[in-house]
Amino acid sequence: MQESKAEAAMDALMQMTAATSKVLRDGEVVVL
Protein backbone atom coordinates (compact mmCIF):
# COMPACT_ATOMS: atom_id res chain seq x y z
CA MET A 1 0.00 0.00 0.00
CA GLN A 2 2.82 2.39 0.80
CA GLU A 3 4.16 2.04 -2.75
CA SER A 4 0.74 2.91 -4.19
CA LYS A 5 0.51 5.99 -1.96
CA ALA A 6 4.06 6.96 -2.88
CA GLU A 7 3.26 6.69 -6.57
CA ALA A 8 0.06 8.70 -6.11
CA ALA A 9 2.00 11.36 -4.21
CA MET A 10 4.63 11.49 -6.95
CA ASP A 11 1.92 11.78 -9.62
CA ALA A 12 0.28 14.63 -7.72
CA LEU A 13 3.65 16.31 -7.25
CA MET A 14 4.47 15.92 -10.95
CA GLN A 15 1.12 17.45 -11.92
CA MET A 16 1.54 20.30 -9.45
CA THR A 17 5.10 20.84 -10.64
CA ALA A 18 4.00 20.98 -14.27
CA ALA A 19 1.12 23.32 -13.42
CA THR A 20 3.39 25.74 -11.59
CA SER A 21 6.20 25.49 -14.12
CA LYS A 22 8.64 24.17 -11.54
CA VAL A 23 11.38 21.62 -12.02
CA LEU A 24 12.86 19.28 -9.43
CA ARG A 25 16.65 19.46 -9.58
CA ASP A 26 18.97 17.65 -7.18
CA GLY A 27 16.18 17.49 -4.60
CA GLU A 28 15.37 21.19 -4.92
CA VAL A 29 12.34 22.75 -6.54
CA VAL A 30 13.36 25.44 -9.00
CA VAL A 31 10.87 27.94 -10.42
CA LEU A 32 11.36 28.54 -14.12
Contact 25, 18 (CB under 8 A): no
**pTM of the predicted model, to two decimals?**
0.41
Structural domain harbouring 19:
2-31
Q: What is the chain written as a DSSP string?
A: -HHHHHHHHHHHHHHHHHHTTEEEETTEEEE-
Looking at residue 30, its pLDDT comes to: 72
How many structural domains comprise the chain? 1
Tell me the per-residue pLDDT of 1-32, one tens digit each, with 9 for 90 and over: 677 898 998 888 888 766 666 666 677 777 76
User: Which residues face 25 on adjacent strands?
Assistant: 28
